[in-house]
Structure 1
Amino acid sequence: MNRYPTVAEVTESARRLVSRFPGTGRLRRVGTSRAGRPLLMLSVGHGPRHVLVVARPHPDEPVGGATALALAELVAGGDRRSPATDPDTVTWDIVLCLDPDGAALSEGIETATAGPAPSLASYYRAAFRPVAAEQPEWAPIVGRPLPESRALFDVIDDLRPVLQCSLHNVDAGGTWAQLTRDLPGLAAPFAASAAALGVPVQHGTYDALYWENPAPGIHVLPPPGSTARPAAGSEDIGLSTWCAPQRYGGATAIVEVPLWATAPADDPTPHADPARALRALSGLVREGGRQVTAVFERARGFLPAPEDSPPVRVLEWMAEDLYDLVADSWGPLVRQAEAGPRTDGSPALTTAGIGALEVVARRQPLRAAGLLLRLLHAAGAPAATGLHHELDALFTAWCTDFETSLRLRWVPVPAQVELQARTVVAAAECALTP
């Protein structure tokens, strides 16, 4: 398939797999979303040890459904080339979509990214990403209980998986994996798979700026109490669903594959002037955020109330402090760069690391602008047309600058799926090894 499957297509494919492999595959409801949608889990195999796979934890990251089906087919077909995919040894439990409500608000993303070379603009016009408090994996960190989070915690408590794999896309960059504990032996097959499929391994990433980095693209969560913690806003990461398998000796691998590859993603050379670049990126995200917020403020009078509109809640959350939070989080890196050669070995200060931060700086205003354009299009108020035209011009220019500055290259969906599936199987092999 050369496009991402929809949630409905993933569900139907899972039902067909259960029919084709009676007794090997089982599909059951493990919870209900806030809006009443079912949370479905496909289990394949009958082994005593469990690998848990979580697809579509973020609705704007659509690869997980396709990867989930590829993994299920591999195990159901009795693939024994790897001990991890032997259905007599391991049961694979696959949550088909952790955030179906968010996915419903991203309907159209599959069509928008279909074809050999989809545009960045088409993606951001269709994508929806909820506020942190409404992201099932992340909500426990900010103290908001969601039924989707509770369902996943219950699955983890019931299955006690040796490994949980959370399936993610990054909009642009390279591929990487974040681990809640080291999985020795993962780096080599991960790098080999990326090379075979022509996907760069990301050196340095915003999501794990201060995590341990034992190999390119492999990031390991620092132990509790360490001064090296995750990105700003995630200091209580131990409360997330990612860390829940640790209660039972299990690990979690967050596997990221890019929609678009960036030219500098795997360039480990020191950046020529990281302090200057970081200050420029901080200005970029602040100014882009200011421009989107200015349009948003002028449109408030004819937009839905926040309590009735998840997209409006996102825009309010971003306008309140998210742009500044991102920009301010790079302050320590600026000081580190200014300190001189002794600290220039940081992955965040390489050409790849600065490129990864540029992705963040450019995407934040684009995410907001894409949402606001959809709201303005649907508003119907006379003033909305003018604001839509004004914002659309900014949005189009930002997309062009993004594509040009980082020389974006679309990664075909089959390559994304194969890389993610290979990485998950390799991580499972490592986790299952005594």
Structure 2
Amino acid sequence: MNRYLTVAEVSAAARRLVSRYPGAGRLRRVGTSRAGRPLEMLSVGHGPAHVLVVARPHPDEPVGAVTALALAERVARGDGRSPATDPAHVTWDVVLCLDPDGAALSEGIEEATAGPAPALERYFRAAFRPVAAEQPEWAPIESSRLPESQALFDLIDKRRPVLQCSLHGIEAGGTFAQLTGGLPGFAGGFHTAAADLSVPVQHGTFDALYWENPAPGVHVLPPPENAGRLAAGSENIGRSTWCAPQRYGGVTAIVEVPMWASALADDPSPHPDAVRTLRGLSRLVRDGGEQVTAVLDKARGFLPPPEENAPRRVLEWMADGLYDLVADSWQPLARQAAESRERVTTAQICALDVVARRQPLRAAGLLLRLLSASDDPAALALHDELHALFTAWCEDFTHALGLRWVPVRDQVDLQSRTALAAAECALRSAR
């Protein structure tokens, strides 16, 4: 597989798999999205232990759907080389797309990233990520009730999986995994897969900046009494769908693979000027956000209202303090570095550099989309103004981190092998 698949293509591929392996696979509807789209689940195997796979929880991360099909194919073939792929021992329940409404607003990613050398500019023009309260895995933290979230909670309560594997992707950097509990032995298989495919392991990540870090690229959720170690905005993470399998002794593995890799991601050497660089990254995300918001301020009068338009809701959410939230979250790390209490590595700086650059780019891509669709006389000039910034930011991003495209087949292979390693460890622990 050399490209991502659309939701429709994934659904069609699942139906073909069921036809090719009679009795091995079952496809059914397990819920309905806010806009009435089906939530489909492909189950393969008949074993008593359940592994729940959640594909495309974020619509701008399409790799997981292709990975999910690859995992299902392997189990449906009857690959019994390990308990994790033995259909008599395990049932794999694969949610093909958790956010089909968001994916519909990200249509174009598949074409934008096709070919041997996709560009960041094309990706960010097509990508869409909803506000936190409209992200099915994260919405419960925001006390938002979504039918997609409820469908997933219901599946977890019914299947009681030993492992929930949430398949994510990151724009740039290295691969990493977040775990809601310990999986002894997991790091070895994960690291071997990354090394075999020449994908850097991300040492340190914004997503789990203060989590436990038992091995490079492996982050474990701190216990509830250590909630102060969580990043801002995630204090109530126990409400998320990630933590639901804990009720039944299960673990969730969030598996991230990069679209574009950076060698800096696995450089554990001390950064030569961490304090100044961290302050610079805070300014970078704030300044970029302010520049996008300045264009948004000029366009608000003719853009669709937020209550009717999801991209506009994202822009207003980001303008209303998200850039500052991101920048402020790094201040404890900067203080630690200034006081020489904790070494800050080049890899950690790389992870934060990715976030500082992508936040304004996500907003700019959405605003460019809205400006392109507008027939207001002022829209063209504003589009050209923002597009000049957007293209310069994409170019800087690529060169500053030395980005190289990771072929889709390698992303899928890495994510599949990591998910299987997690499943093998979870099954051993459950015995």
TM-score when scaled to structure 2? 0.99
Q: CA deviation at 1:228?
A: 4.7
Q: CA deviation at 1:81?
A: 1.1
Task: Write the distance in 2 (CA, Å) between the matches of 1:297 and 1:262.
Answer: 35
- Asked if 1:394 corresponds to 2:389, the answer is yes
Contact 1:205 1:356 in 2 (8 A): yes
Report the equivalent of 2:369.
374
Report the equivalent of 2:6.
6
Q: Could you report, residue by residue, the CA deviation over 1:16-73 in whole angstroms, capped at 9, with x for unpaired residues?
A: 1111111110001110000000000000000001000000000000001100000000
Alignment of 1:339-350 (within 5 A): 339-340=339-340, 342-344=341-343, 349-350=344-345
Contact 1:40 1:95 in 2 (8 A): yes
Unaligned runs of at least 5 residues, structure 1: none
Task: Write the distance in 2 (CA, Å) between the matches of 1:146 and 1:229.
Answer: 28
Contact 2:227 2:235 in 1 (8 A): no
Query: Which residue type is aligned with residue 47 of structure 1?
Result: G
SS in 1 for 2:93: strand
Alignment of 1:277-356 (within 5 A): 277-340=277-340, 342-344=341-343, 349-356=344-351
Report the equivalent of 2:160.
160
SS in 2 for 1:382: coil
Report the equivalent of 2:206.
206
Report the equivalent of 1:192.
192
Aligned partner of 2:414 among 395, 419, 432: 419
Q: Could you report, residue by residue, the CA deviation over 1:62-107 in whole angstroms, capped at 9, with x for unpaired residues?
A: 0011000000000000001111010000000000000000000000
Q: CA deviation at 1:151?
A: 0.2
Task: Write the distance in 1 (CA, Å) between the matches of 2:81 and 2:386.
Answer: 53
Report the equivalent of 1:148.
148
Task: Write the distance in 1 (CA, Å) between the matches of 2:227 and 2:98.
Answer: 31
Task: Write the distance in 1 (CA, Å) between the matches of 2:232 and 2:22.
Answer: 47
Q: Could you report, residue by residue, the CA deviation over 1:175-229 in whole angstroms, capped at 9, with x for unpaired residues?
A: 0000000101011111010000010000000000110000001000001111553
Task: Write the distance in 1 (CA, Å) between the matches of 2:267 and 2:273.
Answer: 15
Q: CA deviation at 1:343?
A: 1.9
Q: Could you report, residue by residue, the CA deviation over 1:246-278 in whole angstroms, capped at 9, with x for unpaired residues?
A: 000000000000000012000000111111100
Report the equivalent of 1:233.
233
SS in 2 for 1:286: helix
Aligned partner of 1:365 among 349, 360, 367: 360
Q: Could you report, residue by residue, the CA deviation over 1:389-421 in whole angstroms, capped at 9, with x for unpaired residues?
A: 000000000000000100001000000000000
Q: Could you report, residue by residue, the CA deviation over 1:357-408 in whole angstroms, capped at 9, with x for unpaired residues?
A: 0000000000000000000000111100000000000000000000010000
Task: Write the distance in 2 (CA, Å) between the matches of 1:417 and 1:221.
Answer: 25
SS in 1 for 2:125: helix
Contact 2:25 2:44 in 1 (8 A): yes
Aligned residues: 429
Contact 1:222 1:228 in 2 (8 A): no
- Name whichever of 93-102 and 271-280 sits farther off: 271-280
- Asked if 1:120 corresponds to 2:115, the answer is no
Task: Write the distance in 2 (CA, Å) between the matches of 1:14 and 1:227.
Answer: 40
Task: Write the distance in 1 (CA, Å) between the matches of 2:327 and 2:148.
Answer: 31
Contact 1:56 1:63 in 2 (8 A): yes
SS in 2 for 1:35: coil
SS in 1 for 2:231: coil
Task: Write the distance in 2 (CA, Å) between the matches of 1:81 and 1:273.
Answer: 49
SS in 2 for 1:171: strand
Task: Write the distance in 2 (CA, Å) between the matches of 1:314 and 1:262.
Answer: 28
Task: Write the distance in 1 (CA, Å) between the matches of 2:303 and 2:31.
Answer: 32
TM-score when scaled to structure 1? 0.98
Q: Could you report, residue by residue, the CA deviation over 1:328-349 in whole angstroms, capped at 9, with x for unpaired residues?
A: 1111111100111x422xxxx1
Contact 2:179 2:252 in 1 (8 A): yes
Task: Write the distance in 1 (CA, Å) between the matches of 2:415 and 2:258.
Answer: 10
Task: Write the distance in 2 (CA, Å) between the matches of 1:293 and 1:325.
Answer: 15
Alignment of 1:62-211 (within 5 A): 62-211=62-211
Task: Write the distance in 2 (CA, Å) between the matches of 1:103 and 1:25.
Answer: 25
Task: Write the distance in 1 (CA, Å) between the matches of 2:43 and 2:222.
Answer: 32
Q: CA deviation at 1:230?
A: 2.5
Contact 1:211 1:228 in 2 (8 A): no
Report the equivalent of 2:19.
19
SS in 1 for 2:169: strand
Unaligned runs of at least 5 residues, structure 2: none
Query: Which residue type is aligned with residue 246 of structure 2?
Result: Q
Structure 1 stretches of at least 4 aligned residues deviating more than 4 Å after TM superposition: none
